[in-house]
Chain A
């Protein structure tokens, strides 16, 4: 594990000491190398976890997320080059440092053994994200967005701290490997209900659950591209990962307690998808689609069957790559037209055909076209929830249809039709942007050949 953490930490001095025209090249190449180092962790052997040290471990749940996190850093750096080109050198280096710190904290979070360490790092990831959103965001509303983001997550996770300390006191340890054997079934007393709620609320807010999702559209729309990418791809998965870990301790109460959250997720899934149909702001549409996909993950985690866990992990990885790529595409649009409204930049297929190809592929992935892992994830979740209760198939089916509807709506509005007069002279796609899209899509497509890796 140190072989990932130390190089990531060392990326920071490398950024500060690089020559001005080498900062992007250096940081991107070395972070790509680090992501290659993390790939062997995917080679999980059976049911046990790969115990690396007293503090860190990785098993088949956290390994794909770890690889996703390390893969994302070079992509974020590539995406941010254009909008940071006008900043001073120190600011650029500061931005890259923030991204690297965030990366470091995320790597440690996904591989933490102790739940308290997980919690501390979980909270710590908020700070670099907040700095990125409020300092480098685009509009004045970003302050409001940062506030919402910070306080929603903090409010949700303070009870988690209390709950973790209580569990530490009663069971004597919070080391994840031990606790999965020591966990006793808890009865449905009032204090246990609160314990359940305290444990779960932080992750519910992070996912986000439908009723607590207010921070997400704001944060996504106001954040700069790297902020949006890391938020959509990784930070949301922190919630899912945390939920999966902590539900081991909360058996069998989850069967009763999960009902209200299941309802909220199922209904919220359909609601947020429908909101997507009415969105005019491109980034806002992608943000709401994130909420919708994550609601599926919440449903899967709360059902707690092996198939639903497999679906949830696959969906998390797939959504991470898809959503991040959609944000990159939206950003490439925004940099050219300086407006996020969809109807003002239409008919891009005739002007930027290669970009249109990327748009098509990612839209198809977003609407869960076979054989992508998006489909595998969704399918497993739908099947598991059908076996949990037959009626959920109605809502799930509606959601799948509406997802297809809004994805195609987004595709046709931006790509098809006659182009508007005022976008005639936009810059053609840069190689950097094409490389960015290809690097997003390649893992997604390759994983559809061997989904076993991400199925947990």
Chain B
């Protein structure tokens, strides 16, 4: 019986093909069952990732040594340096949790993308100096085999900070500090300004500082993608989810002076998957808070700030969302190609964008007129009232401009002293911060990433000493005030 059917099948084969019946398949594969069975066997064989329980490929792993909350440029930079500085290769498992892979509200990609060394705090200058070195040699740092090199479109046009009479003395001091750290900045008087930049109206300007090298602007999206690509090639895992909970265990310990302190450590991070109730508890040893503008909320999840105010337990992480607008306009008579990133004493700034007489600019609102950070809607009246008049006064050509578009982005604004928070928290001992840079995070990201990685791996800062940026300054009240914040 069996042989007859087999013979029949074999005979029908060549004839059947001509007659248009089941083409191309063997006699045994009539219903496609054989290929299904083959596929099943192939997936079970060692090497495949068949999981008999249920498919968990969309969930993060069950455990990871380091969990980085936030996948913006700071988070990716920390991940990169952690992987680069670990002594035995492949030692540490890193997981980056980012809830929005389109980065639609992330500060990184909405940033204007400038980089400068003209800060008043020496550590800031050092951070920017290393970062520009990183960006200049980005293809040596972030090279991935078989992938095209990165072009971050760095425009080395420099920054031009203008100071009125009141601010001239501070500017001179700042320039001295910057020169000590190695930045190349020159001071210009109003006549020199007029000679170099004829389109400037130097009324009210007493002194200007012009960065001659290593300053300008670049494409933040390119840096982000380059870091992402490199970091993935180094073995960092990415997960699309939101951190909803930290499970921690605490221990009551006595300090050297005898007072009792409750030290907490986070041993599990609950990552909730987007648009679903599913969450995965990730067992971790270290958590890095690089959540940018939302770092304050993440810190509250970890219990930072829950305590009587005025104590170390009650000191919150003072990073909050602040909305800033950026406007793009077109002005055919505007300044030419060598236009630097100009910052007016009134706080208004602008820079050239591209080669078609387009310019980007904006202004930081004062404390009273802070817009509501609930959404990223742009207020065009702000441009008319607060940005255009000083612009037109400084650059007369800007009286006739046409706003092409505008967008809004968040600053991870540090309400304490507008400088970053780096390093571990004294009480939640395995949470490290890399946030709060209030508008200059992107330009310092490579250096800050390295500093945090050194802190995690070695226990102290090795290259740039950022001990004045630790969390404990919020409790002790030592401000590291940065004067040149735009």
Interface bracket on B: 35 or more
Q: Would you call A422 an interface residue if the criterion is a C-beta within 8 Å of the partner chain's C-beta atoms?
A: yes
A139 close to B (CB within 8 Å): yes
> A12 an interface residue at 8 Å Cβ cutoff?
no
Q: Do A344 and B92 touch across chains, with their CB atoms under 8 A apart?
A: yes
**Max count, chain A CB within 10 A of own CB: residue among B53, B93, B264:** B93
A345 to B430 Cα, complex, angstroms: 12
Tell me which residues across on chain A come within 8 A of B52, comparing CB atoms. 143
- Knowing A421-B429, A425-B251, the reply to whether A341 touches B91 (Cβ < 8 A) is yes
Taking the nearest CB of chain B, how far is it from the CB of A213, in angstroms?
15
B88 and A424 contact, CB distance less than 8 A = no
Question: Which A residues are in CB contact (< 8 Å) with B424?
Answer: 421-422
> Using a CB-CB cutoff of 8 Å, which residues 301-353 of chain A contact chain B?
337-339, 341-345
Question: Which of A337, A343, A419, A421 is B455 in contact with, Cβ under 8 Å?
Answer: A421
A341 to B283, CA, bound (A): 13
Given A280-B90, A341-B91, A421-B424, A140 and B285 contact (CB-CB distance below 8 Å): no
Nearest residue in A to B44 (C-beta to C-beta)?
A: A147
Cα distance, A342 to B61, chains bound together (Å): 20
Q: Is the CB of A343 within 8 A of B63?
A: no
CA–CA, A418 and B457, complex, Å: 11
Cβ-based interface call for A420 (8 A) = yes
B341-383 interface bits toward A, Cβ cutoff 8 Å, 1 = contact, 0 = none: 0000000000000000000000000000000000000000000
CA distance in complex: A263, B278 (Å):
52
Q: A143-B51, A338-B267, A425-B265 are known contacts. Are A344 and B61 too (CB-CB below 8 A)?
A: no
Determine whether the beta carbon of A344 is less than 8 Å from that of B253.
no
Chain A, range 276-320, C-beta contacts under 8 Å to B: 278-280
Is B301 part of the binding interface, using a Cβ–Cβ cutoff of 8 Å?
A: no
| Pairwise interchain contact B90-A338, C-beta atoms closer than 8 A | no
Q: Does residue A427 face the partner (Cβ distance < 8 Å to B)?
A: yes
Q: How far is the CA of A143 from the CA of B63 in the complex (A)?
A: 16
Q: A140-B51, A143-B52, A421-B424 are in contact. Are A343 and B263 (CB under 8 A)?
A: no
A341 & B65 in contact (Cβ 8 Å cutoff): yes
Partner of A424, one of B46, B93, B285, B429: B429
Closest to B252 in A: A425
| Chain A residues, Cβ within 8 Å of B87 | 343
A422's nearest neighbour on chain B, judged by CB, is: B430
Chain A: minimal CB distance from B365 (Å)? 38
Interface of A is mostly: loop
Quick one: which of A110-144 are within 8 Å of B by CB?
138-140, 143-144
| Of the residues B86, B251, B268, contact of A343 by C-beta under 8 Å | B86
Query: Within 8 Å of chain B (Cβ to Cβ): is A148?
Result: yes
Indicate if the CB atoms of B46 and A144 lie closer than 8 Å. yes
Chain B residue nearest in CB terms to A147: B46
* Given known A-B contacts A138-B62, A280-B91, A344-B65, A339 and B264 have beta carbons under 8 A apart: no
- Most chain A CB within a 10 A radius of its CB, from B87, B264, B267, B285: B285
A338–B251 Cα distance when bound, in Å, is: 16
Q: Tell me the complex Cα distance, A422–B284, Å.
A: 12
> CB of B56 within 8 A of chain A?
yes
Question: Shortest distance in angstroms between A339's beta carbon and chain B's nearest beta carbon?
Answer: 4
* A339/B65 in contact, CB under 8 A: yes
Given A343-B86, A421-B424, A338:B63 Cβ within 8 A: yes
| CB-contact partner of A425 in B88, B264, B285, under 8 A | B264
Q: List residues of B (252-286) whose CB comes within 8 Å of A's CBs.
A: 253, 263-265, 267-268, 283-286
Q: Which residues of B45-68 are within 8 A (CB) of A?
A: 46, 51-53, 56, 61-63, 65
A138 close to B63 (CB less than 8 A) = yes
A422 and B51 within 8 A (CB): no
Nearest B residue to A277, CB-CB: B88
CB of B459 within 8 A of chain A? Answer: yes
Q: Is the CB of B46 within 8 A of A140?
A: no
> Nearest A residue to B283 by beta-carbon distance?
A338
CA distance A426 to B285 in the complex (A): 12
**Distance of A61 Cα from B65 Cα, bound (Å):** 44
Q: Beyond A343-B91, A422-B286, A422-B429, is A148–B46 a contact (Cβ under 8 Å)? A: yes
Q: How far is the CB of B452 from chain A (nearest CB, A)?
A: 12
CB of B169, distance to nearest CB on chain A (Å): 40
Chain A 403-440 interface mask (CB, 8 Å, partner B; 1/0): 00000000000000011111111110000000000000
Per the bound structure, the CA–CA distance linking A280 and B268 in Å amounts to 22
* Cβ contact within 8 Å between B429 and A341: no
Q: Which of B28-56 contact A (CB under 8 A)?
A: 46, 51-53, 56
> Which among B63, B265, B286 is the interface contact of A139 at CB below 8 angstroms?
B63
Supply 13 A–B pairs (Cβ within 8 Å), ascending by A: A139-B61, A140-B62, A143-B51, A143-B52, A278-B88, A280-B88, A280-B90, A280-B91, A343-B86, A345-B285, A424-B253, A425-B250, A425-B253
> Chain A: residues with CB nearer than 8 A to chain B?
138-140, 143-144, 147-148, 278-280, 337-339, 341-345, 418-427
B interface list, Cβ under 8 A from A: 46, 51-53, 56, 61-63, 65, 86-88, 90-93, 250-251, 253, 263-265, 267-268, 283-286, 424, 429-430, 455-457, 459
A-B pairs, top 7 by smallest CB distance, nearest first, are A425-B263, A422-B430, A280-B91, A339-B285, A425-B251, A339-B65, A338-B267
